[in-house]
Amino acid sequence: MKGRKLLMIPGPIEFEPEVLAALAAPTTSHVAPDFIEAFGEALEWMRDVFLCPDGQPLVVAGSGTLAMDLAGANLVEPGDRALVVNTGYFGDRFAALLGRYGAHVTHVRAAVGGRPALAAVEAALQAGRFKLMTVTHVDTSTGVLTDVRGLAALARQYETLCVVDGVCSVAGEALRMTEWGVDVALTASQKAISVPPGLALLMAGPRAMAAFHARKTPVANYYADWANWLPVMAAYEARKASYFGTPAVNLIWALNVSLGQIVAEGLDARFARHAALGRACQGALAALGLGQVPLQPEYAAHTMTAPRYPAGVSGADLLPRIGAAGVTLAGGLHPAIKAEYFRIGHMGPTSLNDLLATIGALEVGLAGCGYRFDVGAGVAAALRAYQG
């Protein structure tokens, strides 16, 4: 880490040395017995991580957007109706993707930084028969956390599939697929799964599988067609060789290492650790007098934070100063407010020390910009809030 900046953006993130070592190991055949074992074990651990004991895991080389495609391409048939619970940039992306496969998309939107009320979602579900509803668990463009549990219960009530974009949440925010009735959850390796970019991960529950098997039209995306990948996943879980497209061998070795670490930490402990990191970051911002994009404290995610620049401070001035102090943060993403806020990722292996270093670098940057505050107040508040 010496001479190297701390990467504190909402993915990619800092990775564990054992995970990086797996990437650097000599590449094996994708049908080598030890690789088959590692892939099979990773698929089994995915059910533990998604808390979906009867789910069907899929791991395919690609980014998180491919994971969204794996859901959209396989669940949508032309003319189907889809409801997008939209909390920002990635809701817009899901809507565009579903539309590409012929879905008629309805949005339930909120103001930037807000989230649609359950009553508004219920009114939309009542008004039209939707085959599926998508929810972005944490929209990385706003740092808004949605109430997946409440939304999934509504989807059940109205016999609509609940698809969760968990790219910025799975293995960080509490997400209990089976218990909450979530039908599909998807993510990418570089977020809280804590493996460098390159793997799309998806878990399909029984209702999603039934909807796929009941299709009347072929899947309009060859690479993403579950029919191509299901036999491959089944074979690796049965510790047999199989082939459709060459798996990203080293990334899957790394995935095996990281999922093993996540399961060893325990999901409840991991959710609690992320909750504490979120509290600490938000406590620091409040002490420094910085606002946040989420409009209510309970809307704020625990895997990332979206602080607003204080009056008189610009991103062009602040972010390079934080970088010079040793920490890389991300600028804004939501087009409507891009220049007004920045983003801090604190997921996966992020420790309290990493977060304190980040808040320290933020304080150095703010002071350099001429912003007046009580030096050390952010770090002290983070420490206090982390203890609960």
Ligand X SMILES: *Cc1c(COP(=O)(O)O)cnc(C)c1O
Binding positions for ligand X, rule: CB under 6 A:
11, 63-65, 90, 136, 139-140, 165, 167-168, 188
Nearer to ligand X, 185 or 362 (CB): 185
Owner of token pair 């990775």: 15
> CB 266 → ligand X: shortest distance, Å?
24
CB of 65 to ligand X, least distance (A): 3
d(CA 246, CA 244) in angstroms, rounded, equals 7
Quote the tokens at residue 257. Answer: 């290492």
On whether the CB atoms of residues 117 and 154 are closer than 8 A, the answer is no
Name the 3-class secondary structure at 315: helix
- The dihedral through the CA atoms of 134, 184, 202, 169 has a sign that is positive
Residue 186 phi, psi (nearest 5): -140, 155
Of 200 and 287, nearer to ligand X (C-beta) is 200
Position of minimal CB gap to ligand X: 64
Q: Which is nearer to ligand X, 167 or 262 (CB)?
A: 167
Angle in degrees, CA 93, 206, 226, rounded to 5: 55
101: left (phi over 0), alpha (psi -120 to 50) or beta: alpha
Paired with 7 in beta bridges are 328
Cβ 52 to ligand X, closest distance in Å? 19
Cβ closest to ligand X, residue 168 vs residue 382: 168
CB of 43 to ligand X, least distance (A): 20
Q: Which is nearer to ligand X, 77 or 173 (CB)?
A: 173
- Nearer residue to ligand X within complex by CB, 193 or 313: 193
CB of residue 88 to ligand X, shortest distance in Å: 8
In angstroms, give the least distance from the CB of 19 to ligand X.
17
Rounded to a whole number of angstroms, the minimum distance from the CB of residue 89 to ligand X is: 8
Q: Token pair for residue 113?
A: 């930084």
Question: Which residue, 12 or 40, is less far from ligand X as judged by CB?
Answer: 12
From the CB of 96, what's the least distance to ligand X, in Å? 12
For residues 77 and 165, which CB has a smaller minimum distance to ligand X in the complex?
165
Whole-angstrom CA distances from 71 to 28, 77, 96, 198, 203 are 30, 12, 13, 17, 9
Strand pairing category for 138-139 and 184-188: unpaired
Least separation in angstroms between residue 283's CB and ligand X is 23
At closest approach, how far in Å is the CB of 64 from ligand X? Answer: 2
Nearer to ligand X, 274 or 385 (CB): 274
CB 144 within 8 A of CB 296: no
Specify the 3-state DSSP secondary structure of 324: helix
Give whichever of 198 and 315 is closer to ligand X, judged by the CB atom.
Answer: 198
269: Cβ contacts below 8 Å, ≥ 6 apart: none
Contact 250, 22 (CB under 8 A): yes
Cα separation, 297 vs 294, whole angstroms: 7
Angle at 302 between CA 301 and CA 304, to 5 degrees: 75
The one-character DSSP state at 30 is: T
Helix 148-157 and helix 118-127: axis angle, to 10°?
A: 20
